[in-house]
Amino acid sequence: MSDVALGIVVFTIAAVPASLLLLALADVIRLEGEGRRRRWIRNCLWALAVPASVPLGVAAWGWAGAAHLEPLCQAYAEPDYRARERDVPLIVLDIQGAPPPWFGALQARFPGRVITATDEPTAGAATHVLEVRRVTHHRNLWFEVRMDRFRLVDRHWGAVIAEADELWVDAGRARYHCGVISGPAVVASERSPWPAGDGVARFVARAFKP
């Protein structure tokens, strides 16, 4: 549900008890006895508290999702380098589906050295592979944490040179990111450059520094 639709629903629910409360306070609705009047006012206030709790509950869900992602960011957000090489080889992208927006920054960083699997026959000559796989880290009743895992692999030896991850959590209507593109701290999706940005390009560049 969009923010506008949620606002309309909350306003509609709150309008009736708010109107009754105003009428009771203004003595338009006449209530016999002070005790009955207080009960009416108390019930109207409780009825107003219910719609007010909806946006607060949704916001709290999002904040809890950010807190849930934070320890995972500390564990996964920094790339892991297992070897360093001096020269940048020919690297072929191994990904399911079309190359995402960050691929343009990667090609700009290494002109002519990063290609896709459809670039035949050049792809067969590539000595290294950048594997990208999307997986679900875990899912429970409240949260779903997913991640894109990047693995730079030496084709000849089958050895993983470097690994990096981009993680995100969906919590209610909110999404929070961290990782190779978004950085090590938890950020809201609207503040993350994902799926664009030059984080993957910087990750690959660091793997080929002596």
Is residue 98 situated within a structural domain? yes
What is the model's pLDDT at position 209? Answer: 74
Number of separate domains in the chain: 2
Q: What is the mean pLDDT of the chain?
A: 77
Q: What percent of the chain has pLDDT over 70?
A: 70
Structural domain containing residue 170: 74-207
3-state secondary structure of 30: coil
Per-residue pLDDT for 183 more than 90? yes
DSSP states of 71-114 as a string? HHHHHHSS-EE----SS---EEEEESSS--THHHHHHHHSTTTE
The answer to whether residues 157 and 200 belong to one domain is: yes
In a domain, residue 174? The reply is yes
Distance CA 110, CA 201 (A): 8
The verdict on 114 and 161 lying in the same domain is yes
> Do 89 and 173 share a structural domain?
yes
Q: Are residues 152 and 203 in the same domain?
A: yes
Whole-model pTM? 0.71
Domain membership of residue 64 (yes or no) is no
User: Is 30 in the same domain as 101?
Assistant: no
Which residues on neighbouring strands pair with residue 183, listed in sequence order? 179
